[in-house]
Amino acid sequence: MFFHSIREWLLQNRTTVRMAFVLRMVALGIGSVAGLIWTRLLLGTMGAEIYGLFLSFSAVMRLGGLGELGLTGTVALKAGQYLGAGNTEQLEKLLATARALFGMIALILMSVFLIGAPWLPTWLHFRSDTAAGSLPMLFATGGIGAAIMVVSGYFSSLNYAHGTVTWPILPTMLLLQIAAPFFHWWLAACGAPLWIQNTPYLIAGAINTYLIWRMLKWSHPTLGNLLPLALDRPTLRLLFSTGGWMYLAGLGAAIYQTVDRLVINAYFGADQVPAYQLNYKLCELSLVLITTATFVAVPKITQWIASQPVPYERLHSEIRRLRAFQVALSLAAGLGYLWINDHFIRWWVGPEFQVSLGLQAAFAATLVVAGCGECGTAIAARCGKNGVRSYGLAVGLSGVLNLVLSLVAAHFGSLAGIAIATAISQCALVLAMNYLSNSYLRMAYLPWLVRTFAFPLAVILGAIALRSIFPSDSWSNQITLAAIYFVVWIVACRMAGLSYAMLSEEIRVLWGMVKGRK
């Protein structure tokens, strides 16, 4: 009876965007708190070097997941179009081909990891440690994990195509953000080797994949079918022609998220990875919040872009509003990060993990540039027939630029240089993507450049200079810096176009959502 009631509630709220947004925010909050707790426990239990090895291995797994070649997003896009048009014949061809293709990719990825396990640790400069256990065994488990990720991606794409935006949030949060890290910590406390410590994530991933598949069967039994399998040539061409650009975008994004850890592990040692990664944590959480806000707004903007005629006045007004809020959020996060990070790290994991102001400055600059430019970057892929191609090329090339600059910085022994490489490549990406979106939407580029890029960047660079004048070693300096930062932030918000009336209206709308009014 209890299970039946839960299933009925899930079916009723399967496509509820507001419920999905609320659950995303709840999951983000719980995941953030849980992440802080697990990181501190794991770091204390495993030590900096072993924990750094595991973080670097996680980066390899993130890259390994790209073996799906961008097909997850392509299947979601095409399946959604066929469902909306009622094109059952094309949908069946797509599903049969996609099932066979994803199954083959999962087996190939797993085989590559299993066969290459004896050599991959050495090739990626993973230094052996007796406490870490067998690194080849760790990479062998990585092959199983990569296969699970590919299969899970297939079922997740179909859930999304069918409009099931609520359900998958729950098991992902409970299994991958709470249960798996708990058993990882327990195994680490027992002195288990790293490959054993990785098994909770494999088990949680497998269970999560099964639940996502069951959700698909509940909502649309045909989409959840596992047979038949086929390799229809026209469908293959369709999948790879679109998936190639999405893969390039995914590759670039993965390089942004993983290259720092791998380069630091190879050039500076695994024990240097945790300090670098942990000092970026507040920036990472802030960017997730900003991109979540964009994720909610972009579907409406996408519909306006596709309308005939295009409601340019309404479109421009909404984009300016979104950009103003993004500037306010990004600068608040960047200034807050510079002000609090030293104290946060000292409280969270200890003073031995504090890093230089130069490294923190690069993190703050990356946060502000990426956050302020998020709207134009997200919209660029929706701009006309060539939007996806341009987006994929820009993200992929900026990822390569990040990798090259990071390797140069590592060659000269500069940790801060690796972070600066990310900031530079992020600037290039934001400038290119916003030029594309502004041109397509007939919006002037120069005002955007001044308000949403140059001025926020100048503000954060000035804030970095002030931080060097008022170091965080006394409360008087902290109070003075906070006061200056607040005044600067107010001025920056006004420059970005954020007004009191606009803020009041947003609060009124949000309050109406809380009370259940539209």
Judge if 241 and 336 occupy the same domain: no
CA distance 249 to 255: 10
- Say if residue 389 is in the same domain as residue 482: yes
Find the domain containing 116 and state its range: 17-259
Q: Does the residue 43 lie in any domain?
A: yes
The whole-angstrom separation of Cα 65 and Cα 125 is 20
What is the reported pLDDT for 507?
A: 60
What pLDDT, on the 0 to 100 scale, is given for residue 514? 45
Helix orientation angle between 312-348 and 500-514, rounded to the nearest 10 degrees:
80
306 plus 207 within the same structural domain: no
The answer to whether the CB of 184 falls within 8 A of the CB of 201 is: yes
Has residue 436 been placed in a domain? yes
- Say how far apart CA 32 and CA 36 lie, in whole Å: 6
Sign for the pseudo-dihedral over CA of 459, 464, 468, 473: positive
432 Cβ contact list (under 8 Å, min separation 6): 394, 398
Q: Of 259, 294, 324, which residue constitutes the final position of a domain?
A: 259
Q: For residue 132, what is the DSSP state?
A: G
DSSP state at residue 87:
-
- Report the pLDDT value the prediction gives residue 7, as an integer from 0 to 100: 57
- Residue 41: inside a domain: yes
The reply to whether omega before 309 is within 30° of 0 (cis) is yes
- Number of helices (H) and strands (E) in the chain: give both, helices first: 23, 0
DSSP character for 14?
T
Rg (CA), the chain: 23
- Give me the number of domains the chain comprises: 2
Could you tell me the mean pLDDT of each successive run of 10 residues in the chain, 518 residues long? 55 52 66 82 88 86 69 74 72 86 89 90 79 88 90 82 63 85 93 92 93 80 82 79 64 68 85 88 84 64 67 80 86 93 89 89 93 82 72 81 91 90 91 87 85 90 92 86 92 80 62 48
C-alpha to C-alpha distance for 16 and 222, rounded to whole angstroms? 22
Regarding whether 228 and 295 lie in a shared domain, the answer is no
Is residue 142 a part of any domain in this protein?
yes
pLDDT at 516: 46
User: Phi and psi (nearest 5°) for 70?
Assistant: 75, 10
pLDDT for the residue 144 = 92
Q: Using alpha carbons only, what angle is made at residue 250 by residues 152 and 138, rounded to the nearest 5 degrees?
A: 55
Domain edge (last residue) among 259, 289, 308:
259
Cα-based distances in Å from 322 to 151, 371, 375: 35, 11, 7
Residue 98 C-beta-side C-alpha neighbours within 13 Å: 32
Question: CB within 8 A of 221, min separation 6: which ones?
Answer: none
Residue with tokens 């230089």: 356
Residue 205 within a domain: yes
CA nearest neighbour of 376 among 359, 360, 394 = 394
**Do 302 and 168 have their domain in common?**
no
Residue 149 lies in a domain: yes
- Do 182 and 323 lie in one domain? The reply is no
9 part of a folded domain: no
Do 460 and 330 reside in the same domain of the chain?
Answer: yes
- 217 token code pair: 């069967």
Give CA–CA dist 495/75, Å, rounded.
42
Same domain, 342 and 371: yes
Q: Are residues 318 and 238 in the same domain?
A: no
- Cβ contacts of residue 179 below 8 Å, gap of 6+? 200, 204
In a domain, 249, yes or no: yes
- Say which residues have a Cβ less than 8 Å from residue 347's Cβ, sequence separation at least 6: none
Distances (CA, A) of 67 to 71, 79, 109, 161, 210: 9, 21, 7, 21, 21
Q: Are residues 147 and 71 in the same domain?
A: yes
339 lies in the same domain as 229: no
Residue 20's pLDDT is 53
Q: Is 285 left (phi over 0), alpha (psi -120 to 50) or beta?
A: alpha
> Please, what's the b/e burial string for 25-61 (b: 16 or more CB within 10 A of its CB; e: otherwise)?
eebbeebbeeebebbebbbebbbbbbbbbbbbbbbbb
Query: Looking at the structure, do residues 238 and 349 belong to the same domain, yes or no?
Result: no
Q: What is the pLDDT of residue 203?
A: 95
190: its two tokens: 């027992």
Closest by alpha carbon to 456, among 350, 357, 367, 345? Answer: 367
Residue 328 tokens read as 């306010």
Q: How far apart are CA 306 and CA 454, in angstroms?
A: 30
